[in-house]
Amino acid sequence: MSYPETVKLKNPVNDQDHVVGPDNAAVTLLEYGNFECIHCGQAYPIIKQVRNVLANDLRFVFRHFPTVRTHPHSLRAAEAAEAAGAQGKFWEMHDELFTHQTALEDRDLMRYARRIGLDLNKFSQAMSENIFLPRIQANYQLSLFDEHITGTPTLYLNGIRYMGTTDLQTLLESIKESDATGQITLPKKIGRVRQAVSKFRRGANR
């Protein structure tokens, strides 16, 4: 019987990464994502609920992987997220972009910036001058050639590439298996968590 090859993360989490959750969390879930990718959009509420369920037992890291050929708005959306991050609101913009994947034109990005309370002049300047573009492109090259990322979402659990599905139960159980400390306890009523995800998705699509 053959087993899938273990693929390890070559570029560890660093100060430039966007991180939510404590450094000493039992498990770090890292996502290479694309704001226009439909599969990332489907994984978004799952990951959001996983974060809610596991709370401080999980650290979540998001890295951009905008594939412009197949997702022409993805790079601009990544710039918007970085511009928001410069004002301390990366995660707020991250949520706006994933819940409005079909509206990623510049006018839409400005609307989200206004909605989350950014300084619009600073945001507009960062976008017009492509201030964060070199960093995004440099990190894309690292992802492509160091990590051999080819699509999104690509997930890692404690530095090991996750090869499973992104349904809620499988992801939660895989995260628990990655917990070497044994401190993660999963809720007994997974069905209730699934209902919460379904409700979240319905709200996001309105």
- Whichever domain contains 162, its CATH number is 3.40.30.10
Mean pLDDT, range 130-144, rounded to an integer = 97
Q: Taking a C-beta distance cutoff of 8 angstroms, is the pair 101, 41 a contact?
A: yes
Domains held by the chain: number: 1
Residue 81 lies in a domain: yes
- Which pLDDT does position 160 carry in this prediction? 98
- Which pLDDT does position 4 carry in this prediction? 66
Compute the distance between CA of residue 96 and CA of residue 111 in angstroms, rounded to an integer. Answer: 10
Q: Which domain holds residue 99?
A: 18-204
148 SS3 class? coil
Compute the distance between CA of residue 80 and CA of residue 49 in angstroms, rounded to an integer. Answer: 24
Residue 13 lies in a domain: no
Residue 4 lies in a domain: no
Mean pLDDT, range 76-105, rounded to an integer = 98
Q: Tokens 């909605």 — which residue?
A: 115
Residue 169 lies in a domain: yes
- Which pLDDT does position 190 carry in this prediction? 62
Residue 127 lies in a domain: yes
pLDDT averaged over every residue in the chain? 92
Compute the distance between CA of residue 79 and CA of residue 94 in angstroms, rounded to an integer. Answer: 11
Residue 1 lies in a domain: no
Mean pLDDT, range 153-179, rounded to an integer = 97
Mean pLDDT, range 24-46, rounded to an integer = 98
Residue 6 lies in a domain: no
Query: Which candidate, 179, 177, 173, places its Cα nearest to that of 193?
Result: 173
Residue 36 lies in a domain: yes
In this prediction the pTM is 0.90
Residue 205, token pair as written in the block: 């699509």
Query: Which candidate, 159, 83, 161, places its Cα nearest to that of 122?
Result: 83
Q: Taking a C-beta distance cutoff of 8 angstroms, is the pair 57, 86 a contact?
A: no
- Which pLDDT does position 178 carry in this prediction? 97
Distance of CA 142 to the CA centre of its chain: 17
